[in-house]
Structures are given as C-alpha cells and as structure tokens.
Amino acid sequence: MNLIIYRENNEKIFYFIANYIKNGNSYIGSNGRIDGVKPDIWEFMLTLDTPTPIYEENTLVGYIENVSDIQEAPKFKDIHVGSEEDVDKVIKKEISKIYQLEDEIKLIRRKDSEFDKYNSFVENLVNEGKIFKEEHFKGSV
C-alpha cells in the first residue's frame, strides 16, 4: 500500500511513499523515507495509485497529479486493504474479536447451536470478503 502526505485544504502532494511501513513518526518505503512527520500538520491518504513524479535536473520537485486525482485505497470492514491477502487478514481479525482460537476449537468439537452461530458468522464474513475481492481486486496479479 502506498501513502500520500499532503496539507489540509491543499491539492499538492508533498510526499509519496511507495509500499510504506510506519515506524513512530517515520514512514519508510521502497522509494525512500521521511522522518519526524508531525501528524497534526499533515493529512494522510492510503492508496494503490502511484503519482507521476516531476523532475528538474534530476531532483524531484513534485507530482503531476493532485490529491483529488488519487483514489483512496478501498476499505473492508473500515480498514484500508491493498490486496486479497489484506482482506483475509481483516477477516481473521474480525473473527478473533469475537472468538478466540481456543473458543473456536471448543465450538467445532461441540457442534451445537453455538457452533451454528459461529459457523454462520464466519461463513457470512468469508462471503463478504469474496464479494469484496471480486469487486476490488478481480484480475489484479
């Protein structure tokens, strides 16, 4: 997933971090890093898009696109996702919010009405994930 950093009420992309990882107030990506980012000064957008850089004399001076030209990454269960694998992680996280692993194992062994409730919850969540994946990641490799 990529990160766009910009100022509120400003269309200009100030920073673009590809495949970012956040570490404190630092953002590290495959195209560089930015340290000491103060969240109260900046706005952040997660995206799958990559803006086109503008170079002058081998120095990055900006991007062709504005913030409004960039599409925000899709959200599944209110969490940004960048791949089918991310959707699977969200599904697992949602299940674990309600059912701990030990509880799941007990329910699977018992196969009573509580198991039916658990099974229905998981099936619905997995089906939601499948539909979401088809809508957002169909054909992506």
pLDDT recorded at residue 139: 61
> Which helix H or strand E contains 41, and what residues bound it?
none
Ranges under pLDDT 70 in the chain: 139-141
CA atoms 101, 103, 109, 111: torsion sign:
negative
Closest CA to 73 of 37, 19, 24, 30: 19
What is the reported pLDDT for 141?
45
**Residue showing tokens 């970012």:** 20
